[in-house]
């Protein structure tokens, strides 16, 4: 009986979405706390900003000492450097901003071009 029932895909699309564990943004952008993470090349950077772009705290982990001996960025070394530095860099930016991770309204990360972790 073609056309009698909905396909599984159509039924799934019609089903109500499961509730997500998301909180609403504060009404005033000044109260937003957004963590930005940049890792597209050799340095690992993190900053916490409010909704107007004011920097509340930032940190950067440089890899210049790692790459200087090679005369340029070595992608595999940069990738490993990001892995080693990301947690401490983010923690330092949060600490300087006096913001707890639970208080963040959003997180923004480098998508490309560049290195993936």
pLDDT tens-digit map of 43-67: 899 999 999 999 999 999 988 888 8
Tokens (6 digits) for 94 = 């949060």
Sign of the Cα pseudo-torsion (74, 80, 85, 86, in order): positive
Of 12-16, 18-22, 38-42, 91-95, give the range with the top mean pLDDT. 91-95
Is the model's pLDDT at 113 over the cut of 90?
Answer: no
CA-CA distance, 57 to 104, in Å (whole number)? 13
pLDDT, tens digit (0-9, with 9 covering 90-100), for 65-101: 888 888 888 888 888 889 999 999 999 999 999 999 9
Rounded to whole angstroms, how far apart are CA atoms 60 and 81?
A: 12
| pTM exceeding the 0.85 threshold for the entire prediction | no
Top pLDDT among 7 and 58 is at: 58
């Amino acid at each position: 009986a073609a056309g009698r029932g909905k396909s599984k895909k159509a039924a799934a699309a019609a089903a109500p979405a499961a509730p997500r564990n998301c909180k609403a943004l504060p009404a005033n952008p000044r109260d937003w706390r957004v963590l930005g993470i940049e890792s597209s090349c050799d340095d690992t950077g993190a900053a916490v900003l409010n909704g107007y772009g004011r920097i509340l705290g930032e940190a950067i982990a440089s890899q210049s000492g790692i790459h200087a001996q090679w005369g340029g960025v070595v992608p595999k070394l940069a990738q490993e450097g990001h892995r080693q530095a990301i947690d401490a860099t983010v923690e330092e930016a949060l600490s300087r901003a006096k913001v707890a991770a639970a208080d963040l309204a959003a997180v923004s990360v480098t998508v490309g071009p560049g290195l993936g972790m």
